[in-house]
Amino acid sequence: MSIVEQINKNKIIAIIRGIEQDKIIEVCKALYIGGIRMIEVTFNQSSLTGNQETYEAISAIAKEFGDEVSIGAGTVMTIEQAELATSAGARYMISPNLNKDVVKRCIELGAEPIPGVLTPTEIVSAYNAGAKVVKIFPIARMGGSDYLKDITAPISHIPVIAVGGVEIDTVSDYINAGAIGVGLGSNLVDKTLIKENRFDELATLAESFVKKTCL
């Protein structure tokens, strides 16, 4: 199954950002129990050790879950990061921007590039560069599901995911507006629950989000 098909089926990509290394597997287990099957681990561009930490996290998740979870890397902004993430087991590379060189290298590596775009021009440019699915980011601050519906109407042949400020009460709005899936960060991967080791509640929260995608 292709990454686009996986997103279309599972709807949610959980975004792991700034989570302690010793808790990442427990977090992923809770998300899995809640029905999440796609997980993105982001690079930290401001950390000298960020690349290695992301590599280790992706490797650990891949080892723990195998094919049960589809793992991607997030905030991929360089070719080197794409290569590192792929070697760790990431199957798709999500970026906040469109870098055609990164898109090209991802395709060469056999990983799906998912560049971040905002306007119709950027969406089409990313698609023409080889991206089979793009990330509309930051969606909530730019008009939410209404904006998504408006900009994708004339280019509905290009699959999009909605990322940035998607909440439990708006998930279904984005799906109904035309997104094949959504990326969920802190609204799903709740750092308070994680800090307090309330993984059962995290699993319940994940289940609630998954149910919303079916409305």
Of the listed 11, 40, 112, 212, which one is catalytic?
A: 40
Q: pLDDT (tens digit, 9 = 90+) per residue, 181-194?
A: 999 999 999 999 99
Q: pLDDT (tens digit, 9 = 90+) per residue, 125-170?
A: 999 999 999 999 999 999 999 999 999 999 999 999 999 999 999 9
Q: pLDDT (tens digit, 9 = 90+) per residue, 94-117?
A: 999 999 999 999 999 999 999 999
Q: Would residue 132 show up in a list of annotated catalytic residues for this protein?
A: no
3-212: CATH homologous superfamily? Aldolase class I (3.20.20.70)
Of the listed 11, 112, 135, 212, which one is catalytic?
A: 135
pLDDT for 88 beyond 80: yes
Residue ranges per structural domain of the chain: 3-212
Which parts of 66-198 fold into alpha helices (H)? 79-88, 100-109, 120-128, 144-152, 171-177, 191-195
CA quadruple 16, 18, 21, 23: dihedral sign: negative
Q: Would residue 135 show up in a list of annotated catalytic residues for this protein?
A: yes
Which parts of 11-143 fold into alpha helices (H)? 24-33, 50-65, 79-88, 100-109, 120-128
Token reading at 111? 């990983």
